[in-house]
Amino acid sequence: MKSTKNYDFGAIDAISFRQLRLFESIGRLQSVRRASEDCNLSQPAVTQSLSKLEVLVGARLVERRASGSYLNKEGEAFYARVSRFLTQFEEALSVFNVEGGRNGARSAAARLLRSQVRVLIAIVEAGNIGPAAEQLCLSPATLQRAARDLESNLRKPLFYRTAAGTVPTVEAIELGRRFKLALQEIEWGIRELNAAQGEAITPITMGAMPLGGNVLLGAVLEAYLAREPRAQVLVRNESAVEMIKSLRAGDVDMVVGLIPADTPDDLAHEALTRTPHAIVARKDHPLAAREKVTLDDLAGYEWLVGAPGSSRRTCFANLFEGRTEARAPVATSALSIIKHLLKGSDRLTLMTSFEIQHEGEGLVALPFGPIVPVPAFGITTRAGWLPTRAHAMFMQIIRDQMAVSSVNARLNAAAALEMESI
């Protein structure tokens, strides 16, 4: 069954949780009959559910034979996503501490409707019921009823009333975040089916950490678009702290740049290179001609520092630990602003060797060091994340580009040392 047009992803809402559970049972047991017994439904009901699911996703998933029902290539790919969805969904309910532990979470998952989950996610993202109702084009009263039904199903409070309206509890916010990540598995599963049929390339939402992340992405995007001319990539630029929040919320798929020193346990890092910080100034800065620069020298100048929580800000604090910090009136991660303020003054800042190599025109690293900690540059993702083919290709291009940059940096350093010895 081949779809004749690109999939309408708004139709994802038409897929019910029941259909997904039945499909998982068929794939796991390799039999419609055994799946019907496992789910306590008739075989015709299971067969009908599977047929509707195949229509909704635009692909045949199961091959029926005399010996049983077996997943085809597309079915295996979609089954992996559905299994991850169901596991994450039940884990979210376990973390929420529904009654009955793991068995209770499984029972609660079977009771929940997609519409109820959609309502919770909307309220969590909007902050309260009023804006969520506008977002879903529903009346506040309808959302109130759905919210009460959800609380009844989970047998735990999810919302409380304030002067600003009905807002989610802290536990409900975390539950909504986990539900959203679980549902992304189904969306990506459908996108992968479309990509396999040559109809569309999975879009990528990319997070670029300030400075270093933006420096690398230009070359990566050129290489990726050369391989996938129909690709769609959205690049988001935020502070390090906000970028990590966006990644955990599922609003970006991966983040490239300096790996933060302190990140939640549910994130995973792939360090591609170590890139030490250096103190940077304009080329004709008064300290540039010194053979050795001291902390006392550095403390006499204004600094440009990173936003709170950034690797650059942490490194600056460590540099002046135990003594009065240098004056730092501006905190920014905008490269254009940093370069402008450096070139027109005697201000100082911290930049990594990778950033200096690519964006250091008109700037010079001062003779001070070494500076610790030495940050790592790489890719940050959610722990346990399963990339699509498009994501995997994009990540490999990042690795390849970083390998080329590292080799060039070593060659440039060797050439500089050779020149100094002449």
Structure tokens at 405: 């940059």
DSSP 350: E
Structure tokens at 284: 């004709």
CA separation for the pair 26, 39 (Å, rounded): 10
- Per DSSP bridges, beta strands 233-237 and 254-258 are unpaired
Q: Look at residue 11 in the predicted model and tell me its pLDDT.
A: 55
- Per DSSP bridges, beta strands 254-258 and 303-305 are unpaired
Name residue 202's amino acid.
T
Interval 352-398: pLDDT, tens = 887 887 778 899 999 997 887 788 889 999 999 999 999 999 999 99
Interval 258-268: pLDDT, tens = 887 777 889 99
* pTM for the whole structure: 0.83
For the cut 60, the answer to whether the pLDDT of residue 5 exceeds it is no
Q: In this predicted model, which residue has the larger pLDDT, 212 or 63?
A: 63
Interval 210-257: pLDDT, tens = 766 777 788 899 999 999 988 899 999 887 888 899 999 999 999 998
8 Å CB contact between 24 and 30? no
Interval 131-156: pLDDT, tens = 998 888 889 889 889 888 999 999 99
- Per DSSP bridges, beta strands 348-352 and 277-282 are antiparallel
Interval 33-51: pLDDT, tens = 999 999 999 999 999 999 9
Q: Look at residue 406 in the predicted model and tell me its pLDDT.
A: 59
For the cut 50, the answer to whether the pLDDT of residue 307 exceeds it is yes
Q: Which residue has the tokens 């529904």?
A: 98
For the cut 90, the answer to whether the pLDDT of residue 298 exceeds it is yes
Name residue 162's amino acid.
T
DSSP 4: S
- Bridge partners, residue 270, by sequence: 379
Q: Please give the span between the terminal C-alpha atoms of the chain, in angstroms, as a whole number.
A: 71
Rg value, the chain, Cα:
26
